[in-house]
Amino acid sequence: MRKDLATALAGAFLSGEWTSSGLFDSAVPVVQGPTPWLPALIRQILAVYPAAPLDRSRELAVVIGSRPAAGGAKSARPIAWPAATTQMTSNPWHLPALHGLGDLAEMLDLGATELAWFTDPRHWARSTTDRRLRHYRVTTKVAASGAVRVLEAPKYRLKSHQRRFLTEILDRIPAHDAAHGFRAGRSVASYAAPHGGQPVVVRMDLEGFFASITAGRVYGILRSAGYPEPVAHALTGLATTVLPRAEWNAISPPANPDLREAHWRLGRRLAGPHLPQGAPTSPALANLAAHRLDVRLSALASSWGGRYTRYADDLALSGGIGWRGDVSRLVALVGDIVRDEGFRLNDRKTAVLPAHSRQVLGGLVVNERPHVSRAEVDLLRAVLHNCRRDGPSTQNRAGVPDFEGHLRGRIAWVAQHDPARGARLRALFDAIDWSF
């Protein structure tokens, strides 16, 4: 059977009554030529779908084309393509009901043409060489390690639609309890706190976290949320992108040859539809995509008598004295689970931290309780003292554009985890004369 005929029949079937006679009456007007094969095809479809698969029009088309009776329709042609009537058949998290693309367009305050432009079903914006027609601006940063980080920031209008997608839908889908990044009421402190005072802390990092999450995984999340295929496809297009080859070719590889292989893998990930690092929807979708990873690593840590938390791409596990002699096996098991879940560990950042060393998670020292290291506080205190004595310009050796805001942020970081020290640093800051 022709693919276009299967698609037309799927639309016709879903637009009418889901009975033998109803399916027959719906199908006849869309087929050119005799249909002796149609009754057998209908019986085979009803055997697969006792009830109408209102959320799966594309799947229905594939099943129609694969039935034995479809072989008799070799000469048949479609003469009409009725739009499939889709519907949410489940809604486990009580999300906004979006039964079709019209509902999605209404939620985003868009017309049908605008919705197609922003969701890019035909990949026009992704493949164009004209940057003015692309939805993302691409920039790069070099991390402290020397690795190149690619940032894909959505332009203003797309970003506003992504924010609505985030607040209306994604924020209502619960992430796993072990996830602490980008969640209301969670922080670096809550990520690090369960590991305070533990004899052994294991810190790991996921390589290319956002880029590793494909459009297929995003689509799976939205289908699990109950959205029918067209809506799930459109929302996936709204939240994923492809880095044009010309943009990747313009990025200089890391100077350190040890980082080149990871850089090559990043390029491979960015060449396919993925979560862009820079979109407001990406953190929430990344947490949801890592849900099964969190389930399995939490169970692994618990089976070893330990604890597990995750902050974005940072993984932390901790346990008792018994971990010391067998922690390499634990690390290997974590690696197996990570690979099985479609991610990859950044082996360069794996660290086993016993209690006699400085145990750092998310920038906080957790040997006793999560706190900012004394060395960091002392350095900040010295900078503030010198600013007050010699003027701020003498301390801004790195040429930070907003040095005042930079210092204020560093003080807030300390105050968040140690209010008393933060208050003393703030007093030093308030004494600075910013006029020179």
Three-state secondary structure of 55-88: CCHHHHHHHHHHCHHHHHHCCCEECCCCCCCCCC
Provide the pLDDT for residue 33. 83
This model's pTM is above 0.85: yes
CB atoms within 10 A of CB 234: 24
Average of per-residue pLDDT across 397-423 = 89
CB atoms within 10 A of CB 124: 12
**Is the pLDDT score of 436 beyond 80?**
no
Q: Which residues pair with 205 in a beta bridge?
A: 314
**Is the pLDDT score of 74 beyond 90?**
no
Distances from the Cα of 399 to the Cα of 66, 146, 201, 429, 432, angstroms: 65, 20, 36, 19, 18
* pLDDT tens digits along 178-214: 999 999 989 999 999 999 999 999 999 999 999 999 9
Average of per-residue pLDDT across 352-371 = 91
CA–CA separation, 402 and 355 (whole Å)? 38
Q: Considering only CA atoms, which of 381, 382, 389 is closest in space to residue 414?
A: 381
Provide the pLDDT for residue 325. 82
**Is the pLDDT score of 259 beyond 80?**
yes
Tell me which of 142 and 213 has the higher pLDDT: 213
Confidence band (pLDDT; 50, 70, 90) for 434?
A: confident
**Is the pLDDT score of 105 beyond 80?**
yes
Provide the pLDDT for residue 130. 81
Tell me which of 290 and 399 has the higher pLDDT: 290
* pLDDT tens digits along 80-104: 888 888 999 999 999 999 999 999 9
